[in-house]
Structure 1
Amino acid sequence: MTVEVLRSAALEGVAHGFLGRRGGVSTGVVAGLNTGLGSGDDPAAIAENRARAVQAVLPGAALCGLYQIHSASVVRVLTAFPDGERPQGDAMVTERPNILLGILTADCAPVLLADREAGVVGAAHAGWKGALAGVTDATIAQMEKLGARADRIAAAVGPCIARASYEVDMGFVERFCATDPENERFFAENRPGHARFDLEAYVVHRLAAAGVRRIEALGQDTYAQEDRFFSFRRATHRGEADYGRQLSVIGIAA
């Protein structure tokens, strides 16, 4: 099966892609294009899947990834990381060609950003903790240090868990509303004591509030599309022993 790559019209002309689980060699509960180094998958299968991802988006590029910690920490990438090295953080920026910034997700929102005029790209892992902490704001700020401008940046929010699939308790709701009472609009009523959270809409809101004018949300629910995407929450609900991670990448062609 060919590697499936979802692309954003907002990032047209920039080497990028949101990959799912189609087109890989992993088997079992992580069957498909599992690129998660933290999974219990065969390392050889993970390496092959990651190589296929690079080939599908920017052949010959160096894939750089992070040890993601649900933070607002951003790493500037100047050169390919040494083999096996993954700095801690949840976003990367670069102005260097032939480097692919890679974000792993399994329900969290991957965000890819580019200022074509400045030649600067960024990638962010926006789970609810990172999104609330301002990981996208921090990414934009670091891109600006490299010559980008928020009003020139285009951003795309890739496959993530949708509101219909994302039940949370009221303590979760209160945490967001304590930061900004208007955040209540990102929650829908559900069964007593619970609500459903629209992570994608919240991330889009944070991007717009930071001055990004062109934003595309792909509207793909990782939880509901088992044949296309990995989902931590789906695996947890089923009591599965492991779960795969999908990769989202962006880079500058040489």
Structure 2
Amino acid sequence: MILRCPALSALAGISHGWFTRKGGVSSGLYDSLNTGYGSSDDRANVGENRGRIADALGVSRDRLVSCYQVHSPDVVVATTPWAWQDNPKADALVTREPGLALGTSHADCGPVLFADAEARVIGAAHAGWKGAFTGVLEATVDAMIGLGARREAIVATLGPTISGEAYEVGPEFVERFKEAGETVARWFKPSDKPGHAMFDLPAYIVHRLTRAGVQASSLGLCTYADESRFFSYRRTTHRAEADYGRHLSAIALQDE
């Protein structure tokens, strides 16, 4: 049910995890640890699934917070918990409050967890192509520094994300990156469809993290390819299914 990163696990006073689709109470398309209130799953099931994640992180069930994600570069500084109905519109959270878990929701986009154990500042970001392209990762780092973190001490790890082998995009997508001055040959490979390309989102995210000056790594896991463990928006789209489940990635500071 839980995936962890050795670099984050080695840090004292921090609990974290990328949660797979296993270990929950949902059924059907949402089998079984669906955490998406934006899905059509029963809200009681979603609440129980999120509660199990809070339990696994060692925080109270009412102290796991997340955002209403809009593929933005916006970051929220969390100081107290809120109800899911009050989720702020943003795509990243940071805090220095112990016992408060930060969660982001994913089903192909990049879930990045951040921590500076010495400063006791943590962060979580939802980085799809648009969020990564417009600076959500750098904004998360800057917000952590605003709370006392040191850039060079921040450990940031990317969890399960759609891989370059599964993410086909159109010519206008590649052109957008060219216009921004990105070296597109690093991120795009030709696809079987003329004019289209395969986009390596995980590599791009790690590049942006590295460029931001933090200690960056990736779990190297593809949500699209591993159906037994992961939900995937794109896989659902290709199958014309009615809906899809969402994962949660989360991180918390333990009480001192």
Q: TM-score, normalised by structure 2?
A: 0.95
**C-alpha displacement at 1:234, in angstroms?**
0.5
Distance, in Å, in 1 between the alignment partners of 2:223 and 2:84 is: 30
Q: C-alpha separation between the residues in 1 aligned to 2:79 and 2:52?
A: 23
Aligned AA for 2:54?
Answer: V
The answer for the alignment partner of 1:215 in structure 2 is 216
Contact 2:65 2:83 survives alignment (8 Å) = no
Flag structure 1 segments of 5+ consecutive residues without an equivalent.
none
C-alpha contact (below 8 Å) 1:58/1:100 kept by paired residues: no
Distance in 1, Cα, partners of 2:200 & 2:241 = 25
* Deviation by residue 1:143-163 (Cα, 9 ceiling, x = unmatched): 000111111100110001000
Indicate if the aligned counterparts of 1:103 and 1:123 stay in contact, CA closer than 8 A. Answer: yes
Residues 176 and 183, structure 1, Cα contact 8 Å, conserved in 2: yes
Letter aligned with residue 52 of structure 1? R
- Give me the whole-angstrom Cα distance separating, in 1, the residues matched to 2:228 and 2:146: 40
How far, CA to CA, are the matches of 1:123 and 1:82 in structure 2?
A: 18
Partner of 2:178: 177
**Residue 193 (structure 1) shift:** 1.0
Deviation of the 1:59 alpha carbon? 3.6
**Structure 1 length as normaliser, TM-score?**
0.96
Task: Spell out, residue by residue over 1:35-57, the C-alpha distance to the aligned partner (whole angstroms, 9 max, x if none).
Answer: 00000001111111111111112
- Deviation per CA, 1:65-100, whole angstroms, max 9, x where unpaired? 100000000000011114621000000000000000
Residue 6 of structure 2 is matched in structure 1 by 9
CA distance in 1 between counterparts of 2:56 and 2:240 reads 33
Give aligned pairs, total. Answer: 250
1: CA distance between counterparts of 2:184 and 2:229?
30
Q: 2-side partners of 1:128 and 1:88: how far apart?
A: 18
Residues 189, 198 of structure 2: 8 Å contact kept = yes
188-197 or 58-67: which moved more? 58-67
Distance, in Å, in 2 between the alignment partners of 1:77 and 1:57 is 17
Q: What residue number does 2:195 align with?
A: 193
Give 1:129's aligned residue: 130
Alignment partners' CA distance in 2, 1:180 and 1:199:
17
Between the two proteins, what is the percent identity of the paired residues?
51
State whether residues 59 and 101 of structure 2, in contact with CA within 8 Å, keep that contact through their aligned partners in structure 1. no
Alignment partners' CA distance in 2, 1:95 and 1:129:
27
Q: CA RMSD in A?
A: 1.0
Distance 1:238 1:83, change over 3 A: closer
Residues in 2 aligned to 1:221 and 1:163: alpha-carbon distance in whole angstroms = 9
CA contact (8 A) 1:173 1:184 kept: no
Give the 5 Å matches for 1:1-254.
4-12=1-9, 13=11, 14-60=14-60, 62-82=63-83, 84-191=85-192, 192-212=194-214, 214-254=215-255
SS at match of 2:183: helix
AA in 2 matched with 1:11: L
Distance change >3 Å, CA 181–CA 66, structure 1 → 2: closer
Q: Distance in 2 between matches of 1:82 and 1:7?
A: 26
Is contact 2:64–2:100 with CA below 8 Å preserved after alignment? Answer: yes
Alpha-carbon distance in structure 2 between the residues aligned to 1:82 and 1:190:
43
Instruction: Check whether the contact 2:75–2:90 (CA below 8 A) recurs between aligned residues.
Output: yes
